[in-house]
Chains A and B, each alone.
Chain A
């Protein structure tokens, strides 16, 4: 009985162990290498605003898109036991729609940006619904269903752009991509906080979290309990569509242009990785959004650390892979079990030693 409750508490807290350990290790490593690595300075940008700068800021700023995508990806993973590999391509489409709508207006104000964002949101959610329909209604595995959009998504974005890489320049767009006047924190970070808050409120006021976990753990049991499994799966993809459009718009705003080939390239792999590093099972079921967000920051911190060590951007992948393998090996159930046994053995041995001492 005691052992059982112990295991439950370990599972509850233990999910965040890997990302927290990884973050701590990275922070310690960076501090040893360069004590001033995380120092935050204040600089003035082109618009004359006082803004924060430093490695720490660039880490939490750079991971914004990934963190937002990781939230949606966690939901999809939990509900459907599979992953969406089309998020990068869908983000390119969302970004293209965003730019296309903005271009239709003669001047860009806050209102037009919001309108364009809503348009791109609708399109991304429709593509999410397309993926979701394939998965939930036609019972196709998520990875294969999203392979369709992965194959043709960036080409659709190219088509929307009309075979070019259009640019948008406006103070509003650059405020979204970097710093808003008067606020020293990068705007993408604030957007991440807003999106996280939205999802927190959704989970707080609805039973979506519970329903998603129920569908992911045992679909037929969930259906027998009166849960509409098809709808829950579809909804997870539509919510991912919302996340995709937010991160696509951030990506466009950062550069002020839409490049269908390079916008959020390979982000799908990083997003899935963030979910896995966050301690969530890729086989669905129980999930923790906070783990995935932490995972996204782990990935970004790793990347920035490697850049700081003068590793070229193309070679980063190889070092990243080594760290990933090390992380997942530590997190592997078999290794955990071995460690536990080893730990217990040493414990009993030391106890046995004590007993002997006493008898002596």
Chain B
């Protein structure tokens, strides 16, 4: 019996185990919410709302997961997102082209990623300090561009913003008898596309496998002939690129640029990656887990709000509690496995 169990467990790597735990907990939590709280949780629209609100967070978390798998950290992502949203809006309000705005978003992201990546990989400066400086710089630039919130005023962009994908068969019948279809924003499509691309990159691409090798053990990666510096540079460039895209998606969602946009997003993204089973030490992580981590984090917040704990502090206190639970669980599971 024990033999059979251990045999079945063997192929499961740390990455997959942590991811499976997250997915299971998310499923149990959501089903419990459906049974106990009912209300909005019974409609498919609830899931789409979660995705609509968190599309940019999902994209940012993807980038951060890559950096964390490579054994680094990038805390500039939230600030870059905010800077991209602000600069694109200012450009669009001057009658700019939407396509150029997209290029601008991507360009700013890649610029941040490559400068930070260069400093970290070639000049061997601690990633925390470099990306902290990047965060300060991006936040400062955002307020230099505009201290006051700016609303988008561009007809073409407005048209793009209002594109919503309607899924009738997942809708529900409202009280007046009309069918309300489930709505999904364009940002969600971009986010899902990013997840698929990053998944392919991490699973079936040499560069992606190099990230794991580098994060797992840098010395052995070097011995295997992997260009560690270049790989690390690329991990930060991808993270920067994804923060740029996330800035554009955030702008599509909120339709306004604000200096406090995406405030604390970097910590939310780190928390999502951790809940999804990525380890900050590197070498372990999975993009699907990160996706579920993001969704879990926002579901907890939704549950707290709809379960009647109206005081403003409960939301972050329960989030902290859940985070504590996940972190402890991971630690215990991993240490038990190591003992075996």
Q: Which residues of A contact B (CB under 8 A)?
A: 83, 134, 138-141, 143-145, 147-156, 158-159, 163, 269, 272-273, 276, 281-283, 312, 314-322, 324-325, 328-329, 331-335
Contact = CB atoms under 8 A, between A and B. Distances in A.
B267 A150 contact: yes
A324 B129 contact: yes
8 contacts: A138-B328, A139-B335, A141-B281, A151-B320, A152-B316, A159-B317, A282-B126, A317-B143
A324 B136 contact: yes
A325 B327 contact: no
Contacts of B126: 276, 281-283, 328
Given A147-B267, A159-B313, A282-B126, A140 B327 contact: yes
Contacts of A329: 119, 123, 125
Interface string B114-157: 00000100111110111011111101110110010000000000
A153 B133 CA distance: 24
B259 interface: yes
Given A141-B280, A147-B267, A332-B124, A321 B313 contact: no
Contact of B143 (A145, A314, A324): A314
A36 to B, nearest CB: 28
Contacts of A145: 327
Given A272-B128, A282-B129, A321-B137, A147 B270 contact: yes
Nearest to B324: A148
A11 to B, nearest CB: 16
Nearest to A141: B280
A147 B271 contact: yes
B241 interface: no
B323 to A, nearest CB: 5
B315 interface: yes
A139 B331 contact: yes
A333 B120 CA distance: 12
B312 interface: yes
Q: Which residue of B123, B130, B136 has the most chain A CB atoms within 10 A of its CB atom?
A: B136
Dominant secondary structure at the B interface: helix
B311 interface: yes
B319 A273 contact: no
B274 interface: yes
Contacts of A319: 140
Interface in B49-64: none
Given A140-B327, A159-B313, A318-B143, 15 more contacts: A138-B327, A140-B331, A144-B270, A147-B323, A151-B320, A155-B314, A155-B317, A158-B312, A159-B317, A269-B132, A269-B135, A314-B147, A319-B140, A321-B137, A334-B122
B140 A315 contact: yes
B321 interface: yes
Contact of A314 (B123, B140, B279, B319): B140
A289 to B, nearest CB: 19
A149 B320 contact: yes
Contacts of A331: 125
A21 B143 CA distance: 30
3 residue pairs, one from A and one from B, having the closest CB atoms:
A318-B140, A152-B320, A321-B137
B290 to A, nearest CB: 15
B129 A147 contact: no
Contacts of A148: 320, 323-324, 327
A152 B143 contact: no
Interface of B: 73, 119, 122-126, 128-130, 132-137, 139-141, 143-144, 147, 259, 267, 270-271, 274, 279-281, 311-317, 319-321, 323-324, 327-328, 331-332, 335
Q: Which residue of B119, B123, B314 has the most chain A CB atoms within 10 A of its CB atom?
A: B123
Contacts of B134: 321
B136 A320 contact: yes
Contacts of A152: 316-317, 319-321
Contacts of B259: 314
Given A151-B319, A324-B129, A144 B274 contact: yes
A269 B76 CA distance: 12
Given A147-B267, A148-B327, A321-B136, A156 B143 contact: no
Contacts of B331: 138-140
A84 to B, nearest CB: 12
Given A150-B267, A156-B317, A316 B140 contact: yes
A178 B270 CA distance: 39
A332 B125 contact: yes
B89 to A, nearest CB: 18
Given A144-B327, A147-B267, A315-B144, A328 B130 contact: yes
Given A144-B274, A151-B267, A276-B126, A318 B316 contact: no
Given A151-B316, A159-B313, A334 B123 contact: yes
B284 to A, nearest CB: 12
Contacts of A318: 136-137, 139-141, 143-144
Nearest to A335: B123
B136 A147 contact: no
A265 to B, nearest CB: 11
Nearest to A332: B123
A258 to B, nearest CB: 14
Contact of B133 (A140, A143, A282, A328): A328
Nearest to B314: A155
Contacts of A334: 122-124
Given A316-B140, A317-B136, A325 B324 contact: no
Nearest to B281: A141
A245 to B, nearest CB: 20
